[in-house]
A and B are shown apart, each in its own frame.
Chain A
C-alpha cells in the first residue's frame, strides 16, 4: 500500500470512529499546513461533508495572510465556521516564561469555547514528530474536566481500538494526524493540491516552517518557494520544525506545562 494512502486511511478511520462514538464534536482549524490537511481528510472521511464545526481560536495576533486565507476557504470549502476569542496575556499564569505565557492565551480561549459549546471531543492536528511530549500522545487522548492532560497515566491504545468510553465530564482530544511527519504533510499537500498560506514559501530568503502568533514565531532561512523545493529542503535539513516557535525553547519544561494544562 502506498505510504500516503496508508496515512490517509488511518486518519479517515480515526475521524469516523470519533464521529460515531462521540456525541458533540468539533475540529480545531489553526489555518496552518497540518490543519488544512486535516480539513481535507475530514472531507474525504465524510464524502465531501464535514458533519461538525471548524473552530478557530483567534488570538488576534495571527499574520494577515492567515486571516485572508481563513476568509477565503471558509467560503470555498463550505465550512461550518466558529471563531473564539482569547483573554489578554495579563490574565495568564505569571510563572510561565513570556512566549509560553502568550501561547497560553490559546488554551484559555479554547477552554472558554469548550464550556460554551459543550463539545465532548475536539480534533487537533498535532503530530508526534513535532516535539517530545506530543511523541507520547494517544490518538484518543482523554482530558479531565479542567482540561488537564495526565501524561503519567494514559490509557492503553492498540490494535486499532481507541478509548471512546469515559466517565461523564471527560473531554477528548482526537489526533487524526498523530502518525504523520512534516514531510508527509507536504507530500500529501502536493499530491492532493491542498491550498496553503503563502507564508510557508520563501520570500527574501526566508520562510515560515510553522505558523503561530506573529510576535512569537520567526521564519527560517530558506530559498524554497514551491512545495517541491520545500520537500527537497526537508529531506536534508537539520533544523527542527518548531525551532521558530519561541515557547518551545524558553525552558526545559515550559512546553510540557502548557500541554499539561490543555495546550494542543
Chain B
C-alpha cells in the first residue's frame, strides 16, 4: 500500500450540546460499535465502574480525568481517532457545562463539522442553542443534530418531531441548515452505528452514515494570498521570511506587498530543508519561508499579499465577539488583540448590542459578561491589516487577551467603516519639505493671534454650520483672520469627485483636514463644519494640524436632531431613501474628550458662540500662545 495514500483523509467532528445530554456516551458507543476500541479497554472501564460502584458508563472512555469521573461531567475537551471505510475521523468531545465554555470553544473551533446532541427527554436547553450559535460564529459550517435518549421517551416519533421542529427553527434563524436530524439512543446504540429496529418510522441515516456525508473542508478557490509573517531568520547568509500561507498561493517571482508597512518586494526563492528540489510555489496551508530579491525591513505581524488584492488597513472595525473573560468587557476597556501573527493594543470604542443566544434578541448594554455574545466596535492604537470574515475567514478573526489570558474571540465586519489604505499610503517618494522663510511667530505677530483649527463635529442638524458661520462673524469682528470650511462647499470643488461610501467619506475628511492644516499654518483661524463621524478620521486631522487642532463637540442627541431635521434628511433616511445616513444607518462616534463641548440642546446660538469665543480668546491670542511651536506635531491628546 502507498503509505502517503491520499485516502488517508481525515475529518474532525466536534461533539457539542447541553451538559448530560449524552455527548461522551455517544462517542464511547460509536467507538465501541465500530470496533475501534483497543483490546481490554471495555473491560478496564467496566472494572473502574465496578470499583467506583456505578453502573457501566460509556462516558469514562473520554472522561479520563479523575475529577471528571468523580463528578460524572466532562471538564475538558479531548480527541480520539477512529476510521470508517470512507476515511479517518478525529472525534472532539466537548464539555457541555456552561462553566467550561472556554474548553467547548477550544474543541469545537477545531472541527470541520459538528454533531450537536439534544436530550429527547429534556429537550432543547440553554447550551443547545448557545452551542449552535457559537458553531456558526466559530466558522463550523456543517452540523448534524442527534436527538438522544430516545429510549427514555419510548422511541416516540412525536417527541422527536417536536424537537426537530423547534431546533430547526432556531438554526434557520441563524442561517444554518442541519445536514441531518437523527433520533438516537447512545446508551442502547440505536441509530449510532447501526439502524434501530425500535424506530421503524425513521428512515434517515445513522450517526455514522451522517459522518460519512460530511465534506472535508477545503479552501474555497480564488481566495487572495495572505501570509502573516511569523518570523524572520538569519541562521546563515539567507534572510528567510517565515510564515504559513493562510490563503491563496505564493510563487517565486511574485511581487508581494507587506501590510501595514506598505513595502513591496519580489520573491527570489522559497526555501526548504531536505527538499528534492526547491519549491517554485506554495499553496494555502503550508508553513514556508522565502527570500526576497532586495533586502527590506519587515517584521512579524505584517501580512504578505499580492498588490492587486491587499488586505484592508484600518484602526477601527466592527466585530461579533464571544466573551470568555472573568471580568466583563466594557466600553473604554483595553485589550491586546492577536490577529494571526499581528498584535496590537485595542480599546473597546462601543458595545453596539449584546445578543441573547437563547432567543436571538439584541439589546443595548454597558457590558458583555462571561459567555456572552455581542457586537462591538474596536479601535486599535495602530493600523492593522485585516479582512472581513466573510471574505477571508483566516484573516478576519482574532482573539482578545485580558492580561495574560485569551478572554474572547471575534469575527470582523467593516460595515460602515472605511478601508484606510488609500488614506495612509504616501504614493510619491523623493519629496522634501521646503523650509518657509517666514516663521509662525512672525505671522502671529502680524495677525495678533496664532493660526489653528476649530474642528466642529456632531450629528446632522446639531448646529455645526449655523454655529460655524456665527462664530466666523464674531471672530472677524474681533479682528481675527478667520475662515469657515463647510461640507457642501468643498464638495462642489475640492471634493467633487467623492461620493458617500465609507472610503469616500474618509477621503473627504482627510482632504479637509489637510487643507485646514495648511490654512492654519498660514496664520488663519479655520473653522470646519463636518459631521466627521469617525474618530479615526478626526484623529488624522488632528495629526495633520498638530497642537493647534481643537475639537469642539457640537452636542445634540439623535432624537433632538431628528425633530429639528432642517433639511428633511432624517425623514428620508428613515424612509430608506438615503443609505448609510449617520446616526440612522451609519455610526456616529462622539468624541471621548473633546477640547470643548457645546451642548445645543441647552444653549441657544448666541450662548454657544460665546462659549467658543471664550475658548478662542484664551488660546489663540499671540501673547499667551508664543510657546506653541510651528514644528510641533504631537497627535495625541
Contacts of B106 in A (CB 8 A): 138, 154, 156-158
The answer to whether A3 and B138 touch across the interface, beta carbons within 8 angstroms, is no
A51 CB, nearest partner CB in chain B, Å: 7
The answer to whether A4 and B48 touch across the interface, beta carbons within 8 angstroms, is no
Contacts of B79 in A (CB 8 A): 128-129, 135, 179
Counting CB contacts under 8 A, is B309 at the interface? no
Closest to A167 in B: B404
Contacts of A133 in B (CB 8 A): 64-65
The answer to whether B230 and A156 touch across the interface, beta carbons within 8 angstroms, is no
Counting CB contacts under 8 A, is B406 at the interface? yes
Counting CB contacts under 8 A, is A116 at the interface? no
Counting CB contacts under 8 A, is B283 at the interface? yes
The answer to whether B235 and A240 touch across the interface, beta carbons within 8 angstroms, is no
In the bound complex, CA of A168 to CA of B76 (Å): 25
Counting CB contacts under 8 A, is A111 at the interface? no
Contacts of A214 in B (CB 8 A): none
Restricting to B102-117, which residues have a CB under 8 Å from any CB of A? Answer: 102-103, 105-106, 109-110
Counting CB contacts under 8 A, is B473 at the interface? no
In the bound complex, CA of A45 to CA of B231 (Å): 11
Restricting to B229-265, which residues have a CB under 8 Å from any CB of A? Answer: 230-231, 233, 235-236, 238, 240, 242, 244
The answer to whether A156 and B38 touch across the interface, beta carbons within 8 angstroms, is no
The answer to whether B8 and A187 touch across the interface, beta carbons within 8 angstroms, is yes
The answer to whether A152 and B406 touch across the interface, beta carbons within 8 angstroms, is no
Q: Which 9 A-B pairs have the closest CB atoms?
A: A132-B64, A158-B109, A240-B38, A135-B78, A12-B287, A156-B102, A49-B235, A9-B287, A48-B273
Residue from A5, A44, A154 within 8 A of B103 (CB atoms): A154
In the bound complex, CA of A94 to CA of B590 (Å): 67
B74 CB, nearest partner CB in chain A, Å: 10
Restricting to B394-418, which residues have a CB under 8 Å from any CB of A? Answer: 397, 399, 401, 404-406, 409
Residue from A5, A20, A155 within 8 A of B230 (CB atoms): A20
The answer to whether B9 and A3 touch across the interface, beta carbons within 8 angstroms, is yes
Residue from B4, B64, B274, B401 within 8 A of A135 (CB atoms): B64
| With known contacts A9-B285, A136-B77, A44–B273 Cβ distance under 8 A | yes
| With known contacts A181-B81, A252-B51, A46–B401 Cβ distance under 8 A | no
Closest to A242 in B: B38
The answer to whether B66 and A252 touch across the interface, beta carbons within 8 angstroms, is yes
A194 CB, nearest partner CB in chain B, Å: 10
Counting CB contacts under 8 A, is B300 at the interface? yes
In the bound complex, CA of A231 to CA of B324 (Å): 42
A-B contact pairs, 26 of them (CB 8 A): A1-B284, A1-B285, A5-B286, A8-B287, A10-B287, A16-B231, A47-B235, A47-B240, A47-B271, A49-B236, A51-B235, A133-B65, A135-B64, A135-B78, A151-B67, A152-B76, A154-B103, A156-B324, A157-B106, A158-B399, A161-B338, A163-B404, A186-B3, A187-B4, A228-B3, A252-B51
Restricting to A206-238, which residues have a CB under 8 Å from any CB of B? Answer: 227-228, 231-232, 238
Binary CB contact string for chain B from 276 to 289 against chain A (1 if under 8 A, 0 otherwise): 00000001111101
Contacts of B273 in A (CB 8 A): 43-44, 46-48
Contacts of A24 in B (CB 8 A): none
Restricting to A136-161, which residues have a CB under 8 Å from any CB of B? Answer: 136, 138, 151-152, 154-161
The answer to whether B231 and A19 touch across the interface, beta carbons within 8 angstroms, is yes
- Chain B: how many interface residues by the 8 Å CB criterion? 67
Contacts of B300 in A (CB 8 A): 20
Counting CB contacts under 8 A, is B80 at the interface? yes
The answer to whether B3 and A190 touch across the interface, beta carbons within 8 angstroms, is yes
The answer to whether B105 and A191 touch across the interface, beta carbons within 8 angstroms, is no
| With known contacts A20-B300, A161-B406, A181-B81, A156–B105 Cβ distance under 8 A | yes
Closest to A14 in B: B287
Binary CB contact string for chain A from 160 to 191 against chain B (1 if under 8 A, 0 otherwise): 11010111000000000001010000110011
Binary CB contact string for chain B from 1 to 16 against chain A (1 if under 8 A, 0 otherwise): 1011010111000000
Binary CB contact string for chain B from 22 to 53 against chain A (1 if under 8 A, 0 otherwise): 00000000000001011111000000100100
Counting CB contacts under 8 A, is A253 at the interface? yes
Residue from B39, B77, B109, B138 within 8 A of A238 (CB atoms): B39
Interface of A with B (CB < 8 Å)? Answer: 1-6, 8-10, 12-13, 16-17, 19-20, 43-49, 51, 128-129, 131-133, 135-136, 138, 151-152, 154-161, 163, 165-167, 179, 181, 186-187, 190-192, 227-228, 231-232, 238-240, 243, 252-253, 256
The answer to whether B3 and A151 touch across the interface, beta carbons within 8 angstroms, is no
In the bound complex, CA of A191 to CA of B4 (Å): 8
| With known contacts A9-B286, A47-B238, A128-B79, A159–B405 Cβ distance under 8 A | no
Contacts of B409 in A (CB 8 A): 158-159, 161
Contacts of A152 in B (CB 8 A): 65, 67, 75-76
The answer to whether A158 and B138 touch across the interface, beta carbons within 8 angstroms, is yes
Contacts of A191 in B (CB 8 A): 3-4
In the bound complex, CA of A167 to CA of B385 (Å): 29
| With known contacts A3-B6, A19-B231, A166-B404, A161–B399 Cβ distance under 8 A | yes
Contacts of A8 in B (CB 8 A): 287
The answer to whether A239 and B338 touch across the interface, beta carbons within 8 angstroms, is no
Restricting to B459-516, which residues have a CB under 8 Å from any CB of A? Answer: none
In the bound complex, CA of A48 to CA of B274 (Å): 8
Contacts of A131 in B (CB 8 A): 64
Contacts of B235 in A (CB 8 A): 46-49, 51
Contacts of B401 in A (CB 8 A): 165
In the bound complex, CA of A10 to CA of B230 (Å): 13
Contacts of A135 in B (CB 8 A): 62, 64, 78-80
Contacts of A128 in B (CB 8 A): 78-80
Contacts of B61 in A (CB 8 A): 132
Additional 9 contacts, C-beta under 8 A, given A49-B236, A187-B3:
A1-B284, A152-B65, A154-B76, A156-B103, A156-B324, A238-B35, A238-B38, A238-B39, A239-B38
The answer to whether A20 and B231 touch across the interface, beta carbons within 8 angstroms, is yes
Residue from A3, A159, A238 within 8 A of B399 (CB atoms): A159
Q: Specify which of B35, B37, B64 lies most central, judged by the most chain A CB atoms within 10 Å of its CB.
A: B64
